[in-house]
């Protein structure tokens, strides 16, 4: 063979090898991509929506509404083909927890339109909640006879209601079970409900026999009841609760390994759960609550079935008062007239950096279109000083509305959040919020941090703030002597007690422990964060009266300042504010320095 031919053969071999490697690499990449797609599942969820058709009348984040939700669901289904859409119950209007309830007929209309909207969004399954019996079983049965989504309840199977179902996503079989609160018995005379535990046990076993890889429970129960069932009935991978009134959306993992999800109240946010699976088993998960804000363009199909208004509050125009004609009908119309003048005096302080009255004033303008706002600053203004003395104000900003508010249509809806003070009505601080406790002594450099170890951003925040050595206060409430409550239930209360016992007996290890536990709050193996400590001593303390005393002392400032959520910061013993999302050390220092 000539040298030239040999050379040519060599290049052919090398070229062939190169092509083979490229093809092999492409094949591997395609295989990996295919594997990633097959192992990721998206579940979208709501619950406790109470037939909330429009966005909320909130001073901050006026979010929600079925038209925004429909638009976001449509977008997410395009992005995540095969995504499941679930609801954990209480999607009917009416009852004590529906603060937009007007009368039975309009509440029925809202409920039926909400059913139409959920059918339009193509919900995969809905749990039967106790609110669905607000107008009797016959009304529900008749109006859901041709309804699209499956309605589930394993302890109530009449009419169209099914105990469970299996949906397939990315080749994975997902079993879904519904469970109805026993409170429904009070609204459904003569209708039989089964006991929750045996019904749930049977359905979990049945789904497993039918090949379900993952089991989801849509539990229309109080969280404590639901968690108790999860501990007793094994095999539930995901629990979506749906009964707690005005619940704060949360996501965490129970000791049994079950992922616990609590939807946003009134559907103001859409929950998204992303599951990562290997061999059809959950190995990781991520959760996110997506705001239904005004940045979302409302879905045109949903708008077609929504009446223009259900009440006067739905008719708003700057500078005008609105009235709803033919409420709840497709032909409903808003009529407007020039608004009456309502005075609002805002008392604030130039010394307060975090005082921001704008969200509250904007909310009040939405309720009282003729609102005329003036500002007085304490202690610069005589009027502000006099008002602070007369009204015995403890914190700022304060909001004083003129007595002419009594003649406004929106007054009855706001009255419970007002306190009569001479010729004024003052907004309750619990409603409007405060930022500056001007009567508290200033303690320069002191920082108090109110926090839950069960918040997903807590670990990073604790690491960022540790060098500032803040006083840490856990977010618990003492309802009865030695009986505490926290958003994470008894598990969080027990964790807080252990942390405080370590702080009392091993103070040098306190920060290391709480940072470690914030990173692994879903794990029951707390001893891994307490290596080198006397675990028996910590357990004895946490289970005894000493822990109750420590937790009571630790949460005393929460109670005094009415701090319910976190992370919240009290700086110099006077100025209070909160943060959202992950905060870096640099961002935190800037916030505190301000």
Q: What are the phi and psi torsion angles at 235 (to 5°)? A: 105, 5
Residue 302: C-alpha distances to residues 74, 113, 124, 373, 434 (Å): 11, 10, 18, 37, 38
Instruction: Tokens for 31, please give them.
Output: 């295989």
Which tens digit of pLDDT belongs to each residue from 318-327?
888 888 999 9
Cis peptide before 147 (omega within 30 of 0): no
Distance between CA 563 and CA 561 in Å, rounded? 6
In this predicted structure, the answer to whether residue 257 has a pLDDT above a threshold of 70 is yes
Secondary structure string (H, E, C) spanning 412-435: HHHHHHEEEECCEEEECHHHHCCC
- Structure confidence at residue 8 as a pLDDT band (50, 70, 90): very low
In this predicted structure, the answer to whether residue 33 has a pLDDT above a threshold of 80 is no
Q: How many CB atoms lie within 10 A of CB 290?
A: 17
Q: What are the structural domains, with CATH classification, of the chain?
A: 36-295 (3.60.21.10), 307-338 (no CATH), 341-432 (3.40.30), 447-593 (3.40.30.10)
Q: How many CB atoms lie within 10 A of CB 283?
A: 10
- Structure confidence at residue 435 as a pLDDT band (50, 70, 90): very high
Q: What is the pLDDT of residue 182?
A: 80
Q: What are the phi and psi torsion angles at 212 (to 5°)? A: -65, 130
Of 455, 512, 82, 439, nearest to 287 by C-alpha is 455
In this predicted structure, the answer to whether residue 195 has a pLDDT above a threshold of 90 is no
Which tens digit of pLDDT belongs to each residue from 320-363?
888 899 999 989 999 999 999 999 999 999 999 889 999 999 88
- Structure confidence at residue 587 as a pLDDT band (50, 70, 90): confident
Q: What are the phi and psi torsion angles at 317 (to 5°)? A: -155, 130
- Chain mean position to CA 501: 30
Instruction: Tokens for 18, please give them.
Output: 């190169």
**CB contact at 8 A, 588 and 573:** no
As a dihedral over the C-alpha atoms of residue 411, residue 412, residue 417, residue 421, rounded to 10 degrees, the angle is 60
**DSSP H or E run through 150:** strand 150-152
Distance between CA 526 and CA 454 in Å, rounded? 13
- Structure confidence at residue 524 as a pLDDT band (50, 70, 90): confident
Higher-confidence residue: 183 or 519?
Answer: 519
Q: What is the pLDDT of residue 223?
A: 73
As a dihedral over the C-alpha atoms of residue 217, residue 220, residue 225, residue 226, rounded to 10 degrees, the angle is 20
In this predicted structure, the answer to whether residue 78 has a pLDDT above a threshold of 80 is yes
Which tens digit of pLDDT belongs to each residue from 274-319?
999 999 999 999 999 999 999 999 999 999 999 999 888 788 888 8
């Amino acid at each position: 063979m000539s040298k030239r031919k040999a050379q040519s053969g060599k290049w052919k071999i090398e070229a062939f090898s190169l092509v083979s490697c490229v093809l092999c690499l492409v094949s591997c990449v395609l295989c990996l991509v295919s594997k990633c797609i097959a192992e990721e599942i998206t579940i979208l969820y709501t619950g406790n929506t109470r037939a909330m058709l429009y966005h909320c009348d909130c001073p901050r984040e006026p979010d929600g509404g079925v038209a925004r939700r429909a638009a976001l669901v449509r977008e997410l289904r395009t992005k995540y083909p095969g995504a499941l859409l679930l609801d954990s119950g209480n999607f009917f209007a009416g009852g004590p927890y529906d603060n937009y309830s007007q009368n039975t007929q309009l509440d029925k209309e809202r409920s039926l339109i909400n059913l139409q909207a959920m059918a339009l969004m193509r919900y995969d399954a809905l749990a039967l909640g106790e609110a669905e019996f607000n107008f009797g079983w016959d009304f529900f049965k008749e109006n859901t006879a041709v309804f699209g989504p499956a309605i589930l309840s394993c302890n109530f199977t009449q009419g169209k209601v099914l105990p469970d179902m299996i949906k397939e996503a990315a080749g994975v079989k997902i079993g879904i079970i519904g469970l109805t609160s026993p409170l429904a018995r009070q609204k459904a005379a003569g209708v039989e409900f089964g006991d929750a535990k045996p019904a749930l046990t049977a359905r979990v076993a049945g789904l497993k026999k039918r090949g379900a890889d993952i089991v989801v429970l849509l539990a229309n129960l109080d969280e404590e009841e639901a968690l108790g069932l999860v501990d007793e009935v094994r095999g539930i991978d995901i629990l979506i609760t749906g009964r707690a009134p005005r619940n704060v959306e949360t996501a965490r993992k129970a000791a049994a390994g079950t992922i616990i999800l609590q939807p946003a109240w009134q559907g103001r946010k859409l929950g998204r759960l992303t599951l990562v699976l290997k061999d059809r088993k959950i190995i990781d998960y991520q959760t996110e609550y997506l705001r239904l804000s005004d940045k979302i363009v409302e879905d045109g199909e949903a708008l077609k079935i929504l009446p223009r208004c259900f009440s006067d509050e739905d008719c708003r125009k700057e500078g005008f008062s609105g009235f709803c004609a033919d409420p709840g009908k497709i032909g409903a119309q808003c009529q407007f007239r020039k608004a009456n003048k309502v005075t609002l005096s805002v008392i604030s302080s130039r010394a307060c950096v975090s005082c921001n009255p704008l969200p509250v004033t904007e909310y009040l303008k939405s309720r009282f279109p003729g609102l005329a706002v003036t500002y007085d600053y304490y202690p610069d203004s005589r009027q502000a000083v006099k008002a602070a003395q007369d009204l015995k104000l403890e914190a700022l900003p304060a909001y004083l509305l003129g007595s002419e508010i009594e003649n406004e249509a929106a007054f009855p809806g706001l009255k419970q959040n007002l306190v009569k003070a001479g010729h004024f009505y003052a907004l309750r601080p619990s409603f409007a919020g405060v930022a500056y406790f001007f009567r508290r002594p200033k303690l320069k450099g002191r920082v108090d941090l109110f926090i839950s170890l069960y918040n997903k951003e807590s670990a990073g925040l604790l690491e960022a703030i540790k060098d500032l050595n803040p006083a840490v206060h856990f977010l618990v409430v003492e309802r009865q002597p030695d009986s505490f409550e926290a958003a994470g239930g008894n598990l969080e209360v027990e964790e807080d007690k252990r942390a405080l016992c370590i702080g009392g007996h091993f103070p040098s290890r306190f920060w290391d422990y709480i940072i470690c536990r914030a990173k692994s709050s879903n794990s029951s193996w707390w001893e891994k964060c307490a290596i080198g400590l006397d675990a028996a001593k910590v357990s004895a303390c946490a289970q005894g009266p000493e822990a109750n005393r420590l937790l009571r002392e630790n949460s005393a400032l929460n109670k005094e300042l009415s701090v319910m959520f976190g992370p919240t910061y009290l700086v110099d013993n006077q100025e209070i504010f909160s943060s959202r999302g992950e905060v870096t050390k640099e961002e935190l220092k800037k916030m505190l320095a301000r």
